[in-house]
Protein backbone atom coordinates (compact mmCIF):
# COMPACT_ATOMS: atom_id res chain seq x y z
CA UNK A 1 0.00 0.00 0.00
CA UNK A 2 2.84 2.40 0.87
CA UNK A 3 4.65 1.75 -2.40
CA UNK A 4 1.47 2.20 -4.42
CA UNK A 5 0.75 5.59 -2.79
CA UNK A 6 4.32 6.71 -3.42
CA UNK A 7 4.06 5.70 -7.06
CA UNK A 8 0.83 7.67 -7.43
CA UNK A 9 2.47 10.68 -5.81
CA UNK A 10 5.39 10.57 -8.24
CA UNK A 11 3.02 10.31 -11.19
CA UNK A 12 1.12 13.36 -9.93
CA UNK A 13 4.38 15.31 -9.63
CA UNK A 14 5.39 14.35 -13.17
CA UNK A 15 2.02 15.48 -14.47
CA UNK A 16 2.34 18.73 -12.55
CA UNK A 17 5.79 19.36 -14.06
CA UNK A 18 4.42 18.87 -17.54
CA UNK A 19 1.73 21.46 -16.84
CA UNK A 20 4.32 23.92 -15.53
CA UNK A 21 6.36 23.58 -18.70
CA UNK A 22 3.48 24.76 -20.87
CA UNK A 23 2.42 27.63 -18.58
CA UNK A 24 3.98 31.14 -18.83
CA UNK A 25 6.56 31.94 -16.11
CA UNK A 26 5.24 34.26 -13.37
CA UNK A 27 5.34 34.47 -9.59
CA UNK A 28 2.79 31.73 -9.07
CA UNK A 29 4.40 29.36 -11.53
CA UNK A 30 7.84 30.09 -10.06
CA UNK A 31 6.58 29.17 -6.61
CA UNK A 32 4.99 26.01 -7.94
CA UNK A 33 8.22 25.15 -9.76
CA UNK A 34 10.14 25.58 -6.52
CA UNK A 35 7.67 23.30 -4.78
CA UNK A 36 8.07 20.78 -7.58
CA UNK A 37 11.85 20.81 -7.17
CA UNK A 38 11.44 20.21 -3.45
CA UNK A 39 9.02 17.39 -4.16
CA UNK A 40 11.49 15.77 -6.58
CA UNK A 41 14.23 16.14 -3.99
CA UNK A 42 12.09 14.44 -1.38
CA UNK A 43 11.15 11.71 -3.84
CA UNK A 44 14.83 11.08 -4.66
CA UNK A 45 15.69 10.89 -0.99
CA UNK A 46 12.81 8.49 -0.38
CA UNK A 47 13.95 6.32 -3.29
CA UNK A 48 17.49 6.23 -1.93
CA UNK A 49 16.40 5.50 1.64
CA UNK A 50 13.72 2.94 0.78
CA UNK A 51 13.89 1.30 -2.65
CA UNK A 52 17.65 1.44 -3.17
CA UNK A 53 18.41 0.16 0.33
CA UNK A 54 15.88 -2.62 -0.13
CA UNK A 55 17.54 -3.70 -3.37
CA UNK A 56 20.97 -3.57 -1.76
CA UNK A 57 19.69 -5.71 1.09
CA UNK A 58 18.28 -8.25 -1.37
CA UNK A 59 21.57 -8.30 -3.24
CA UNK A 60 23.51 -8.97 -0.04
CA UNK A 61 21.07 -11.72 0.91
CA UNK A 62 21.33 -13.51 -2.44
CA UNK A 63 25.09 -13.11 -2.42
CA UNK A 64 25.26 -14.70 1.03
CA UNK A 65 23.03 -17.59 -0.06
CA UNK A 66 25.15 -18.15 -3.16
CA UNK A 67 28.30 -18.21 -1.03
CA UNK A 68 26.72 -20.64 1.44
CA UNK A 69 25.55 -23.10 -1.21
CA UNK A 70 28.88 -22.77 -3.00
CA UNK A 71 30.74 -23.77 0.16
CA UNK A 72 28.24 -26.59 0.72
CA UNK A 73 28.82 -27.89 -2.81
CA UNK A 74 32.60 -27.86 -2.36
CA UNK A 75 32.22 -29.72 0.94
CA UNK A 76 30.08 -32.38 -0.77
CA UNK A 77 32.64 -32.78 -3.55
CA UNK A 78 35.41 -33.06 -0.97
CA UNK A 79 33.48 -35.74 0.91
CA UNK A 80 32.99 -37.78 -2.26
CA UNK A 81 36.67 -37.45 -3.15
CA UNK A 82 37.60 -38.48 0.37
CA UNK A 83 35.48 -41.64 0.15
CA UNK A 84 36.76 -42.62 -3.29
CA UNK A 85 39.91 -44.39 -2.00
CA UNK A 86 37.72 -46.53 0.30
CA UNK A 87 35.84 -48.04 -2.61
CA UNK A 88 37.07 -51.44 -3.72
CA UNK A 89 36.28 -53.46 -6.79
CA UNK A 90 36.13 -57.20 -6.29
CA UNK A 91 36.54 -59.38 -9.34
CA UNK A 92 34.90 -62.77 -9.64
CA UNK A 93 34.98 -65.63 -12.07
CA UNK A 94 31.91 -67.74 -12.80
CA UNK A 95 32.90 -71.39 -13.02
CA UNK A 96 30.58 -73.91 -14.69
CA UNK A 97 31.09 -77.66 -14.35
CA UNK A 98 30.88 -79.19 -17.83
CA UNK A 99 29.03 -82.40 -16.99
CA UNK A 100 26.50 -81.33 -14.37
CA UNK A 101 26.23 -77.61 -15.12
CA UNK A 102 26.98 -76.76 -11.48
CA UNK A 103 27.89 -73.08 -11.19
CA UNK A 104 29.90 -71.38 -8.50
CA UNK A 105 31.68 -68.07 -7.98
CA UNK A 106 35.46 -68.00 -7.76
CA UNK A 107 36.86 -64.79 -6.19
CA UNK A 108 39.99 -63.16 -7.57
CA UNK A 109 42.15 -61.34 -5.04
CA UNK A 110 45.71 -60.09 -5.13
CA UNK A 111 46.20 -61.47 -8.60
CA UNK A 112 45.37 -65.04 -7.60
CA UNK A 113 42.29 -66.93 -8.70
CA UNK A 114 40.43 -68.72 -5.94
CA UNK A 115 41.75 -66.70 -3.01
CA UNK A 116 39.39 -64.95 -0.62
CA UNK A 117 39.39 -63.35 2.79
CA UNK A 118 41.56 -64.88 5.50
CA UNK A 119 38.45 -66.11 7.30
CA UNK A 120 37.11 -67.79 4.15
CA UNK A 121 40.44 -69.47 3.48
CA UNK A 122 40.56 -70.76 7.04
CA UNK A 123 36.97 -72.03 6.89
CA UNK A 124 37.57 -73.73 3.54
CA UNK A 125 40.54 -75.59 4.99
CA UNK A 126 38.60 -77.00 7.94
CA UNK A 127 35.57 -77.86 5.81
CA UNK A 128 37.63 -79.66 3.18
CA UNK A 129 39.55 -81.60 5.82
CA UNK A 130 36.36 -82.58 7.66
CA UNK A 131 34.67 -83.86 4.51
CA UNK A 132 37.77 -85.89 3.59
CA UNK A 133 37.89 -87.51 7.02
CA UNK A 134 34.18 -88.27 6.98
CA UNK A 135 33.65 -89.40 3.40
CA UNK A 136 36.93 -91.10 2.45
CA UNK A 137 37.77 -94.65 3.47
CA UNK A 138 40.80 -96.83 3.80
CA UNK A 139 40.84 -99.87 6.03
CA UNK A 140 44.22 -98.85 7.43
CA UNK A 141 43.12 -95.30 8.35
CA UNK A 142 39.47 -95.92 9.20
CA UNK A 143 40.05 -95.66 12.97
CA UNK A 144 41.96 -92.38 12.57
CA UNK A 145 39.21 -90.94 10.37
CA UNK A 146 36.58 -92.02 12.88
CA UNK A 147 38.45 -90.28 15.71
CA UNK A 148 38.88 -87.05 13.75
CA UNK A 149 35.19 -86.92 12.83
CA UNK A 150 34.33 -87.41 16.49
CA UNK A 151 36.71 -84.65 17.58
CA UNK A 152 35.48 -82.14 14.99
CA UNK A 153 31.74 -82.84 15.39
CA UNK A 154 29.18 -81.90 17.99
CA UNK A 155 27.58 -84.94 19.69
CA UNK A 156 24.38 -85.02 17.61
CA UNK A 157 26.29 -84.91 14.32
CA UNK A 158 28.78 -87.53 15.41
CA UNK A 159 25.95 -89.82 16.57
CA UNK A 160 24.59 -89.90 13.01
CA UNK A 161 28.02 -90.74 11.62
CA UNK A 162 28.64 -93.43 14.23
CA UNK A 163 25.26 -95.08 13.62
CA UNK A 164 25.94 -95.16 9.88
CA UNK A 165 29.40 -96.68 10.24
CA UNK A 166 28.15 -99.32 12.67
CA UNK A 167 25.26 -100.30 10.39
CA UNK A 168 25.28 -102.80 7.55
CA UNK A 169 25.81 -99.88 5.14
CA UNK A 170 28.97 -98.68 6.87
CA UNK A 171 32.19 -98.41 4.92
CA UNK A 172 33.94 -101.16 6.86
CA UNK A 173 31.07 -103.56 6.28
CA UNK A 174 30.64 -102.76 2.57
CA UNK A 175 34.21 -102.11 1.44
CA UNK A 176 36.24 -104.10 3.94
CA UNK A 177 39.96 -104.17 3.22
CA UNK A 178 39.64 -104.74 -0.51
CA UNK A 179 38.42 -101.33 -1.60
CA UNK A 180 38.97 -97.68 -0.73
CA UNK A 181 37.13 -94.40 -1.18
CA UNK A 182 39.04 -91.39 -2.46
CA UNK A 183 37.48 -87.95 -1.93
CA UNK A 184 38.38 -84.98 -4.09
CA UNK A 185 37.09 -81.56 -3.00
CA UNK A 186 35.84 -79.59 -6.00
CA UNK A 187 34.81 -76.33 -4.37
CA UNK A 188 33.33 -74.69 -1.29
CA UNK A 189 30.51 -72.14 -1.46
CA UNK A 190 29.39 -70.22 1.62
CA UNK A 191 25.63 -69.86 1.85
CA UNK A 192 25.37 -67.26 4.64
CA UNK A 193 28.18 -64.74 4.51
CA UNK A 194 26.79 -62.67 7.41
CA UNK A 195 26.55 -65.51 9.94
CA UNK A 196 27.60 -64.41 13.39
CA UNK A 197 26.36 -60.85 12.90
CA UNK A 198 23.80 -59.25 15.20
CA UNK A 199 20.47 -61.02 14.87
CA UNK A 200 21.97 -63.85 12.83
CA UNK A 201 22.70 -67.47 13.71
CA UNK A 202 26.14 -68.12 15.16
CA UNK A 203 26.70 -71.01 12.76
CA UNK A 204 28.09 -70.51 9.30
CA UNK A 205 26.82 -72.77 6.53
CA UNK A 206 28.67 -73.86 3.43
CA UNK A 207 28.07 -76.19 0.54
CA UNK A 208 30.98 -78.51 -0.20
CA UNK A 209 31.03 -80.18 -3.59
CA UNK A 210 33.17 -83.29 -3.76
CA UNK A 211 33.70 -86.38 -5.91
CA UNK A 212 34.01 -89.90 -4.49
CA UNK A 213 35.93 -92.53 -6.42
CA UNK A 214 36.04 -96.21 -5.54
CA UNK A 215 39.57 -97.65 -5.63
CA UNK A 216 40.78 -101.22 -5.49
CA UNK A 217 43.22 -102.44 -2.86
CA UNK A 218 46.10 -101.20 -5.01
CA UNK A 219 44.75 -97.65 -5.09
CA UNK A 220 43.56 -97.79 -8.71
CA UNK A 221 40.07 -96.63 -9.76
CA UNK A 222 37.57 -99.45 -10.02
CA UNK A 223 36.51 -99.60 -13.70
CA UNK A 224 33.14 -101.06 -12.75
CA UNK A 225 32.12 -98.12 -10.53
CA UNK A 226 31.92 -94.60 -11.91
CA UNK A 227 32.95 -91.63 -9.76
CA UNK A 228 30.01 -89.82 -8.19
CA UNK A 229 29.78 -86.14 -7.29
CA UNK A 230 28.05 -85.16 -4.06
CA UNK A 231 26.91 -81.91 -2.48
CA UNK A 232 27.42 -81.66 1.24
CA UNK A 233 25.79 -78.95 3.37
CA UNK A 234 27.77 -78.22 6.51
CA UNK A 235 26.92 -75.87 9.39
CA UNK A 236 29.81 -75.10 11.70
CA UNK A 237 31.38 -72.72 14.17
CA UNK A 238 34.47 -72.49 16.35
CA UNK A 239 32.85 -73.18 19.69
CA UNK A 240 33.96 -76.81 20.01
CA UNK A 241 36.74 -76.09 22.47
CA UNK A 242 39.38 -78.81 22.95
CA UNK A 243 39.34 -80.48 26.36
CA UNK A 244 43.02 -81.34 26.66
CA UNK A 245 46.39 -80.73 25.06
CA UNK A 246 46.11 -83.69 22.69
CA UNK A 247 42.82 -82.40 21.32
CA UNK A 248 44.29 -78.92 21.02
CA UNK A 249 47.03 -80.30 18.77
CA UNK A 250 44.38 -81.70 16.43
CA UNK A 251 41.77 -78.95 16.74
CA UNK A 252 43.43 -75.74 17.98
CA UNK A 253 40.62 -73.41 16.90
CA UNK A 254 37.73 -75.45 18.27
CA UNK A 255 36.20 -76.23 14.87
CA UNK A 256 32.86 -77.98 15.33
CA UNK A 257 30.25 -79.23 12.86
CA UNK A 258 26.68 -78.70 14.06
CA UNK A 259 24.86 -79.93 10.96
CA UNK A 260 25.81 -82.24 8.10
CA UNK A 261 23.91 -83.65 5.15
CA UNK A 262 24.86 -84.91 1.69
CA UNK A 263 22.96 -85.47 -1.53
CA UNK A 264 24.10 -86.91 -4.81
CA UNK A 265 24.40 -84.31 -7.52
CA UNK A 266 22.03 -84.82 -10.43
CA UNK A 267 24.12 -85.67 -13.43
CA UNK A 268 27.13 -85.73 -11.15
CA UNK A 269 28.65 -89.01 -12.35
CA UNK A 270 31.93 -88.41 -14.05
What is the 3 state secondary structure string of 168-201? CCCHHHHHCCCEEEEEEEEEEEECCCCCCCCCCC
- Summarize the confidence of residues 175-188 as an average pLDDT: 94
72 pLDDT exceeds 50?
Answer: yes
Q: What is the largest CA-CA distance in the chain?
A: 144
For residue 115, pLDDT over 60 is answered with no
Question: Among 196-200, 239-243, 263-267, whose mean pLDDT is lowest?
Answer: 196-200
Write down the pTM of the prediction.
0.60
Residue 56: strand pairing partners? none
Q: Which residues pair with 236 in a beta bridge?
A: 204, 257
Is the separation of the CB atoms in 214 and 179 below 8 Å?
Answer: yes
Q: 227, 211 in Cβ contact below 8 A?
A: yes
Q: Residue 109's pLDDT band (boundaries 50, 70, 90)?
A: low
Distance of alpha carbon 180 from the chain centroid: 44
Over residues 211-216, mean pLDDT: 95
* Predicted pLDDT at 198: 47
CA atoms within 13 A on the CB side of 49: 6
Average confidence score pLDDT of the chain: 81
- Residue 31: the pLDDT is 66
Q: Is 80 exceeded by the pLDDT of residue 1?
A: no
3-state secondary structure of 15: helix
Q: Residue 9: its pLDDT value, please?
A: 65
pLDDT for the residue numbered 71? 87
Shortest CA distance to 215 belongs to which of 183, 186, 185? 183
Residue 104 CB contacts under 8 Å (≥ 6 apart), including other chains: 94, 95, 187, 189, 209
Which alpha helices (DSSP H) does 23-117 contain, by range? 27-46, 53-83
Average pLDDT over residues 75-104: 67
What pLDDT score was predicted for residue 64? 84
The H-or-E segment that residue 215 falls in is strand 204-216
Torsion angle in degrees (nearest 10) through CA of 62, 67, 71, 77: 70
At residue 194, does pLDDT exceed 90?
no
Say what the pLDDT of residue 91 is. 57
Encode pLDDT of 121-135 as tens digits: 999 999 999 999 999
Amino acid sequence: MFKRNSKQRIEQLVERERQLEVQPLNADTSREASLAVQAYTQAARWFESSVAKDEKRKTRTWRGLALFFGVLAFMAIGAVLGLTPLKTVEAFLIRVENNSGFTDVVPVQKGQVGSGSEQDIQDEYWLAAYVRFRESYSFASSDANYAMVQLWSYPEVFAEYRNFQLSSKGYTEVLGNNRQLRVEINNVVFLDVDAGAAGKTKYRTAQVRFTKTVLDRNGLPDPLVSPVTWLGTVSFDYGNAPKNRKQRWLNPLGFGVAGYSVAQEIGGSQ
